[in-house]
């Protein structure tokens, strides 16, 4: 199992995964050209992709999906609700390359994929739990306002987790956002704070958790160092040691393999 977060933030999100020789993306929120460039940085080619799994219809997760699908004949896995809300952003896609998903297990080859609903203010937002034939598992949720029992279930016992750490509460209250946007961000259908990300990691931590990525860092109400320190300090107080990395907006993370 290999992972590289190609970029994460309000200007674009995409994650490359390679599981049992199957290569695919979670979201494609950059331009097609930018995703091609980012894949090249980790020595991967878009024509190798077997699918693009969409979390929700917001442009920072969907922007390049249609372009890549048309150019490289790549299937897009998306909920009907997200497709209906985002089809203008996607553009015309061959019917065979739109595959509707819900919260039921499906497979890419032998790779088991469990989508699950998460709380966010899109028409419908999914997280993903992915398991290879060797039993290695990853769970991903990059836009989530609240950690409910469903989310806890799908993040349990994974080897790698990617979780949102969007804002610092003090920075959010002091930034230039209008009050209605501040309320949206910190609502149960908004985004996850650094403090809540740390608590969640601490709650579901187990000895086989090898890697944690903090994702979707706000440029206005957070910064990468603060997100890392807040979460790392919380885990240290709980005597938890785990490989913690912050995903940034512009730079891809190094290809990590377990």
According to the model, what pLDDT value does residue 119 have?
Answer: 95
Q: Quick one: CA dihedral 170, 173, 175, 180, positive or negative?
A: positive
8 A C-beta contact, residue 205 and residue 242: yes
Q: Which residues of the chain have pLDDT under 50?
A: none
8 A C-beta contact, residue 97 and residue 75: yes
Is 191 within the bounds of a domain? yes
According to the model, what pLDDT value does residue 57 have?
Answer: 97
8 A C-beta contact, residue 39 and residue 68: no
CATH at 207: 3.60.15.10
Tell me the C-alpha distance between 188 and 43, whole Å: 38
According to the model, what pLDDT value does residue 117 have?
Answer: 98
According to the model, what pLDDT value does residue 124 have?
Answer: 97
List the domain range (segments joined by +) for residue 144: 2-251
Return all residues near 163 (Cβ < 8 A) that are at least 6 apart.
Answer: 141, 142, 144, 155, 192, 197, 200, 201, 212, 213, 214, 215
According to the model, what pLDDT value does residue 81 have?
Answer: 98
Encode pLDDT of 62-112 as tens digits: 999 999 999 999 999 999 999 999 999 999 999 999 999 999 999 999 999
According to the model, what pLDDT value does residue 12 have?
Answer: 97
Is 258 within the bounds of a domain? no
8 A C-beta contact, residue 166 and residue 192: yes
Burial class (CB in 10 A: 0-12, 13-18, 19+), 82: buried
Is 257 within the bounds of a domain? no
The number of folded domains in the chain is: 1
Is 256 within the bounds of a domain? no
pTM beyond cutoff 0.95:
yes
How many Cα atoms occupy the beta-carbon half-sphere of 103 within 13 Å? 10
């Amino acid at each position: 199992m290999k992972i590289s977060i190609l970029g994460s933030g309000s200007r674009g999100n995409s994650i490359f995964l390679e599981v049992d020789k199957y290569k695919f993306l979670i979201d494609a929120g950059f331009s097609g050209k930018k995703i091609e460039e980012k894949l090249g940085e980790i020595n991967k080619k878009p024509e190798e992709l077997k699918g693009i799994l969409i979390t929700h219809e917001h442009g920072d997760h969907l922007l390049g999906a249609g372009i890549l699908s048309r150019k490289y004949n790549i299937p897009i896995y998306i909920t009907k609700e997200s497709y209906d809300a985002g089809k203008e952003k996607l553009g015309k896609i061959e019917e065979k390359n739109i595959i509707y998903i819900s919260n039921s297990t499906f497979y890419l080859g032998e790779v088991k994929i469990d989508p699950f609903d998460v709380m966010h203010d899109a028409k419908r937002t999914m997280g993903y739990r992915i398991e290879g034939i060797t039993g290695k598992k990853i769970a991903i949720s990059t836009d989530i306002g609240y950690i409910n029992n469903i989310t806890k279930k799908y993040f349990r016992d994974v080897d790698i987790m990617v979780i949102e750490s969007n804002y610092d509460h003090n920075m959010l209250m002091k930034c230039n956002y209008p009050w209605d946007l501040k309320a949206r961000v910190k609502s149960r259908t908004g985004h996850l704070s650094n403090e809540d990300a740390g608590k969640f990691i601490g709650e579901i931590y187990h000895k086989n958790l090898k890697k944690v990525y903090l994702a979707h860092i706000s440029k206005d109400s957070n910064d990468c160092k603060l997100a890392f320190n807040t979460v790392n300090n919380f885990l240290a107080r709980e005597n938890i040691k785990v490989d913690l990395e912050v995903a940034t907006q512009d730079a891809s993370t190094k290809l990590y393999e377990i």
